[in-house]
Amino acid sequence: MSRADLTKMTKIEVVVTGADAPAVRELFQATGAAGFTSLSGVSGLGHDGYHQGRLLFNDQAALELLITVLPEDRADAVIAGLRPLLDESSGVMFLSDTYVSRPEYFR
Amino acid sequence: MSLTVDTTRAAERARLRSDIAIAARVLAPYWPIDTFIAVNPLSGLEDRPFGEAIEIGGRLFGARGTLTEPAFRREHAAGRITDADLLAALRRRVPRLLAASAPVLGGRPAQPGELLLADLLHGEPAPAPRRLARTRSEREAPRVADRVDAQTTKWCAAFLDDAGAWPMPGREAGFYPAWRALAARDRSLPGAVRERLRELAERADDALLDALEALGVAVEAQRGTLQAHLTRLPGWAAHVRWSGEHGGGIDLVGYLALRLTYETLLLEHAPAQEPALDPARRTATPGERAERAAAALGAGEATGSELARVAALLAELPVAERALIWQDSYEGHYRDELLTRLAGNEPAAATTRPAAQLVCCIDVRSEGLRRHMEATGPYETLGFAGFFAVAIRFQDLSGGAPSALCPVLLEARNVVAERPASGAEALAERRLAGARALAGAHDGFHAAKDDLVAPFALAEASGWVAGPLAAGRTLLAGRFGALRGRLARRAVPPAPTSLAVHESFSLEERLLFARAALTMMGLTGGFGRLVVLCGHGSTTENNPYAASLDCGACGGNRGAPNARVAAAILNGTDVRDGLARDGMVIPDDTWFVAAEHDTATDQVELLDAQLVPPGHHAELAQLAADLQHAGEALSAERCASLPGAPAQPTARAAARHARARSTDWAQVYPEWGLAGNAAFIVGPRTLTRGLDLGRRTFLHSYEAGVDADGTALETILTAPLVVAQWISCQYLFSSVDPEVFGAGTKTIHNVVASVGVIAGHDGDLQLGLPWQSVSDGERLVHEPLRLLAVVQAPLARIDAIVARNTVLQHLFDNEWVALAARENHGDPWRRRTPDGWRPWLEATR
């Protein structure tokens, strides 16, 4: 399968604390994302130092990675909402082009 | 062009949602009252230092974060806070000031400490905090602000009270559409306002954007305006946020759309009003403070230049910061005494196998039971979070919706169903039939009571029996409660049940839970023949806050199901085989028994006794008898502080009184719950055994030697400690500002479905604990202290854990929790400070 057979879309990945994750999920849904993927308990080294991954008895303090893919024309609204949210927390956002084989799943 | 407009509007909506989410961070989480969870009402500000957070809390909510200075001074007069405590707090907080040269006052040098003490003890008290983050109607037209609040309360209560006699029409479509359809029919509003309500946007976010525009709020000021509305009625706003996150059909967008729409329209159509007058609020100047201090020190004739030097010194400690000095000294007194007692504790090491081990919840109330149980016989006790490491959704025998029984920090994924025990199916059916009949009668009675017309017929039909019954319940609470208990047991007989643990958990999961629980509590060897896993709950009557007395680690529920599940897992041979492969050998003759401590009656019920092997029956009987003695002794101890309890009763009489109290529907002080909580101790029982800690300490067992990689300690600090800190702050703030952060007095509470309570017939949902949970009506029973964490573990291990967990950095670095630690028994206690570990006393004295 070549890339020409695929549909170009925008992928937005956000890493936030479990406490901030509901706001991001709500924003994704309210701005028309058809769905999202969420990975809890992610760990790593960042601007604020090392972040512990999954904690045995605390889902909220750990970081969560939320991923959504949507048509380019809807991405700007999501970004407009995410930027102030991330300005006020330790979260980060990654934006990239991506290609999907079933575009109807993301519209 | 159309696409551009749509895109712009979509971005505005997204930005609005983001602003709401940020503005709402200052709201504490709020769970429905039937699973009341203790929270820090300023949890949204935990990323800031405590002093800054309470200052912001004052501006946002108009609430105080510490006792008033007169209240602290009364504690000083009573000896609870000493001059030495105050000087130690000053030395820690403003060392430079204490080291300053002594100004001359009245012809003699006055030491800085002397002057600062005089100011603390005699200075004009700091003014009460005032809400500054006000809505436009609060500033310009207070009566409009009140009307907006009244509308908010009316519509939120109508929507959320789904069990009421009049369900809100259209509520299935969600809050905003339902309100939009009905709002214009509200005859209490002026016609012009109703007319405008007919033009509301279809979407809640668009209606909110329209209102912000009509109010002339610039985009950059939007967040502040939204926050002012969210903090005006923080109880409703917090609950609406919770509902929004749990599919409740209402969210903050709709809530704010309603509030700002009413504010816009009512301001437009309101008659001219006088703006709200700010009450006089003046802070004493440094010069005035100097004069007062001089007078207090007998130097009333001091010269102007002398007073100027004193004023310059005092100005270095702003009036608003004096409260923090008082708070530090209030806490320091307790903490120094506690750590001194712990340092001097030398319990004899046990040399024989214990008769049994009793593992209780870390809840402060368990400290009393453990102490009395250890005094009863050769028992060992341990502390562990009362959900015993099994985060479950429990479905009881009736098969209703499962309840999440775990800390709210966790999501319960395993559903455990209760089934009739083998051979007890007929008994279980009788139990279920009885329960259904009672529930039907209860529902029918309340449906009739809540109906529009039926209450009149109900009163006619049942008044002749309801009156005497009410009199009996009130005047003979103990006997009536016992009679009800007997009748209930006859109607709903107990039936042995089993829990489908093997269906709910894979072997891998069961092994994980077993290993985690035993390692965390340091119970990896030396097992007794009986190990009791003792959860807890509280039996009270007519108490909307009943869940606040149940187990916080079980999500505000009773802990028996978790104890039963954990015992079943640990008794499993496959689990024991797996643990043995890891080197953790549980002897074949060790049996784990589930139990539940009723903290209102101090009775401990042993559960699933039918599963206990016959060879253990004699020991089990002895254990039951000793638990009864320990419970009675604990009741006698508790009677000393319960209002209206008999003075110095015998143990038996105290136990009778506690039982009667728990069934008294007029009793506003059924028990003291976690009032008094002040410290969280992590270490082996040898650290605390033999000491009467006054039911003020959370006790978590921990053996550093079996936790080389620190995983167990990390789990303890990032979960049980966090929950304990929430509880600590809930009690603290409910005590210092009961009207804003607490729930006011119980006597005027009205319950709104299962949502919460309001004081009187309208107003905000109450945020915290009732006044009767922290005070006996005249004086505080709870001392509003921040939590002290005491940990016996290698300091480097603690540092490493804190370094990788932001939640702990916030708690310790921002002074929400103080941390004292030592590596080994006999080492001096050290305090974690921004400059590293310092000797505890050097850091404070």
Report the gap between the CA of A5 and the closest CA in chain B (Å). 27
Based on its alpha-carbon atoms, the radius of gyration of chain B, rounded to whole angstroms, reads: 29
pLDDT at residue B452 in the model: 54
pLDDT at residue B161 in the model: 80
With a CB cutoff of 8 Å and minimum separation 6, the contacts of B503 are B417
pLDDT at residue B482 in the model: 72
Tokens representing B329 are 């000294």
Tell me whether residue B836 is exposed, middle or buried, using C-beta atoms within 10 angstroms of its C-beta: 0 to 12, 13 to 18, 19 or more.
exposed
Q: Any idea of the CA torsion for B740, B741, B745, B748, to the nearest 10 degrees? A: 60
Gap between the Cα atoms of B611 and B565, Å rounded: 13
Report the gap between the CA of A2 and the closest CA in chain B (Å). 31
Hey, are the CB atoms on A76 and B7 less than 8 Å from each other? yes
Contact list, A75 vs chain B (CB under 8 Å) = none
Contact list, B714 vs chain A (CB under 8 Å) = 52, 55
Hey, are the CB atoms on A30 and B13 less than 8 Å from each other? yes
Tokens representing B601 are 């009656």
Chain B (195-234) residues lying within 8 Å, Cβ to Cβ, of chain A: 205
Q: What is the pLDDT of residues B158-195, one digit of tens each?
A: 998 866 667 889 999 999 999 999 999 999 999 999 99
Interface test with A, best of B2, B5, B16, B17 (most A CBs within 10 A): B17
- Check residue B763 and give left, alpha or beta (phi > 0: left; psi -120 to 50: alpha): left
Gap between the Cα atoms of A33 and A103, Å rounded: 12
* pLDDT > 70? residue A104: yes
* pLDDT > 80? residue B461: no
Tokens representing B770 are 């009732």
Hey, are the CB atoms on A52 and B714 less than 8 Å from each other? yes
Topology adopted by domain A3-106: Alpha-Beta Plaits (3.30.70)
Taking the alpha carbons at both ends of chain A, their separation in whole angstroms is: 22
Tokens representing B185 are 């029919």
List the one residue out of A103, A107, A101 whose CA is nearest residue A6. Answer: A101
* B1 band by pLDDT with thresholds 50, 70 and 90: very low
B3: closest chain A residue by CA: A73
Hey, are the CB atoms on A77 and B10 less than 8 Å from each other? yes
* pLDDT > 80? residue B828: yes
Contact list, B257 vs chain A (CB under 8 Å) = none
Phi, then psi, of B329 in degrees rounded to 5:
-75, -35
Give the residue-averaged pLDDT of B521-540: 96
pLDDT at residue B212 in the model: 98
Q: What is the pLDDT of residues B770-810, one digit of tens each?
A: 999 999 988 999 999 999 999 999 999 999 999 989 999 99
- Check residue B523 and give left, alpha or beta (phi > 0: left; psi -120 to 50: alpha): beta
Hey, are the CB atoms on A85 and B18 less than 8 Å from each other? yes
* pLDDT > 90? residue B462: no
Given A31, A48, A85, which is nearest B21 (Cβ)? Answer: A85
Contact list, A51 vs chain B (CB under 8 Å) = 804, 806
Q: Which residues of A1-14 are buried (b: 16+ CB within 10 A; e: fewer)?
A: eeeeeeeebbbbbb
B720: closest chain A residue by CA: A57
pLDDT at residue B446 in the model: 59
Gap between the Cα atoms of B35 and B227, Å rounded: 27
What does the domain layout of chain A look like in residue ranges?
Answer: 3-106
Hey, are the CB atoms on A51 and B205 less than 8 Å from each other? no
B407: closest chain A residue by CA: A57
Q: What is the pLDDT of residues B734-768, one digit of tens each?
A: 999 999 999 888 777 788 777 888 887 778 998 89
Report the gap between the CA of A51 and the closest CA in chain B (Å). 5
Per DSSP, B468 falls in state: H
Gap between the Cα atoms of A24 and A39, Å rounded: 13
B10: closest chain A residue by CA: A77
Contact list, A85 vs chain B (CB under 8 Å) = 18, 21-22
Give the residue-averaged pLDDT of B272-294: 82
Q: What is the pLDDT of residues B413-422, one digit of tens each?
A: 899 999 998 8
Tokens representing B312 are 């310059």
* B2 band by pLDDT with thresholds 50, 70 and 90: very low
pLDDT at residue B274 in the model: 67
pLDDT at residue B3 in the model: 47
pLDDT at residue B589 in the model: 97
Gap between the Cα atoms of B517 and B386, Å rounded: 11
ipTM of the shown complex: 0.90
Q: What is the pLDDT of residues B210-237, one digit of tens each?
A: 999 999 999 999 999 999 999 999 999 9
Report the gap between the CA of A103 and the closest CA in chain B (Å). 20
Asked if B474 is an interface residue toward chain A (Cβ–Cβ < 8 A), one would say no
Q: What is the pLDDT of residues B80-122, one digit of tens each?
A: 999 999 999 999 999 999 999 999 988 889 999 999 999 999 9
- Check residue B604 and give left, alpha or beta (phi > 0: left; psi -120 to 50: alpha): beta
Q: How many CB pairs under 8 A join A and B?
A: 107
* pLDDT > 90? residue B279: no
Q: With H, G, I as helix, E, B as strand and everything else as coil, classify residue B290.
A: helix
User: Mean pLDDT for chain A?
Assistant: 89
pLDDT at residue B520 in the model: 93
Per DSSP, A12 falls in state: E
Contact present, B622 and B675 (Cβ < 8 Å): no
User: Mean pLDDT for chain B?
Assistant: 91
List the one residue out of B128, B147, B130, B135 whose CA is nearest residue B232. Answer: B135
Asked if A5 is an interface residue toward chain B (Cβ–Cβ < 8 A), one would say no
* pLDDT > 60? residue B821: yes
Based on its alpha-carbon atoms, the radius of gyration of chain A, rounded to whole angstroms, reads: 15
Percent of chain B beyond pLDDT 70?
A: 93
* pLDDT > 70? residue B667: yes
Contact list, B804 vs chain A (CB under 8 Å) = 49-52
Q: Is the dihedral of CA B219, B237, B127, B814 positive or negative?
A: negative
Q: Which one has a higher pLDDT value, B63 or B492?
A: B63
Tokens representing B689 are 């055994």
Q: What is the pLDDT of residues B332-348, one digit of tens each?
A: 999 999 999 999 998 77
Contact list, B719 vs chain A (CB under 8 Å) = 55-58
List the one residue out of B31, B409, B245 whose CA is nearest residue A22. Answer: B245
Does pTM surpass 0.80?
yes
Given B22, B244, B714, which is nearest A85 (Cβ)? Answer: B22
Contact present, B692 and B633 (Cβ < 8 Å): no
Asked if A30 is an interface residue toward chain B (Cβ–Cβ < 8 A), one would say yes
Q: What is the pLDDT of residues A10-21, one digit of tens each?
A: 999 999 988 889
Taking the alpha carbons at both ends of chain B, their separation in whole angstroms is: 71
Report the gap between the CA of A106 and the closest CA in chain B (Å). 17
Give the residue-averaged pLDDT of B630-654: 95
Chain B (778-817) residues lying within 8 Å, Cβ to Cβ, of chain A: 803-807
Report the gap between the CA of A13 and the closest CA in chain B (Å). 17
pLDDT at residue B106 in the model: 84
